[in-house]
């Protein structure tokens, strides 16, 4: 199985990256795993011109295609996102906006191969789960428009620093069982 893990945070070595390390360590056996960080890609803001609704392509020349090639490569996508003001980080939202050419609500639209499954891990510094649920909802909505089947989710509260991840390692490992199925 080919599994892509995407760090939806622009921070490459924080708590989100630490969670990705735990996931990677626990799903690598028997799978080909790649991880990428949203900040590794130059992605321009969507101009809202809707030209892609007619062409299934964006006129902008940036790294969206490179990142979508990673999505195409994968059988399973694991999005790991921290909370930035109660939702996904802006960098990841910009990417989602730029995926309009792949959005299934207009024709023509670009398409990923069928049968992909998506998993989401949300983390936040505070104690309440509703913020994690909002992040998960945003990512699962994105998956739906790309026809990626939402297949598992995990919310992790009270994680501010990478050292806080250790207390939740068992929860993350249990979630890895869901990803491996």
What is the chain's pLDDT, residue by residue, as a tens digit (181 residues)? Answer: 999 999 999 999 999 999 999 999 999 999 999 999 999 999 999 999 999 999 999 999 999 999 999 999 999 999 999 999 999 999 999 999 999 999 999 999 999 999 999 999 999 999 999 999 999 999 999 999 999 999 999 999 999 999 999 999 999 999 999 999 9
Task: Say what the pTM is.
Answer: 0.97
Residue 113's Cβ-count burial label (10 Å; 0-12, 13-18, 19+) is exposed
Strands 117-123 and 76-82 come out as parallel
**What pLDDT is attached to residue 46?**
97
């Amino acid at each position: 199985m080919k599994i892509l893990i995407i760090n939806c945070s622009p921070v490459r070595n924080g708590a989100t990256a630490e969670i990705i390390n735990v996931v990677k360590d626990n799903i690598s056996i028997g799978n080909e795993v790649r991880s990428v960080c949203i900040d590794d890609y130059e992605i321009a803001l969507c101009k809202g011109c809707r030209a892609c609704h007619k062409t299934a392509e964006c006129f902008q020349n940036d790294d969206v295609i490179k990142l979508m090639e990673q999505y195409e490569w994968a059988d399973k996508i694991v999005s790991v996102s921290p909370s930035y003001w109660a939702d996904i980080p802006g960098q990841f939202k910009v990417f989602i906006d730029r995926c309009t050419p792949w959005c299934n609500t207009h024709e023509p639209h670009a398409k990923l191969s069928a049968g992909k499954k998506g998993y989401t891990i949300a983390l936040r510094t505070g104690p309440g789960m509703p913020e994690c649920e909002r992040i998960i909802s945003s990512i699962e909505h994105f998956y739906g428009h790309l026809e990626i089947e939402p297949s598992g989710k995990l919310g992790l509260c009270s994680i501010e620093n990478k050292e806080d991840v250790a207390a939740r390692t068992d929860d993350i490992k249990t979630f890895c069982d869901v990803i491996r199925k």
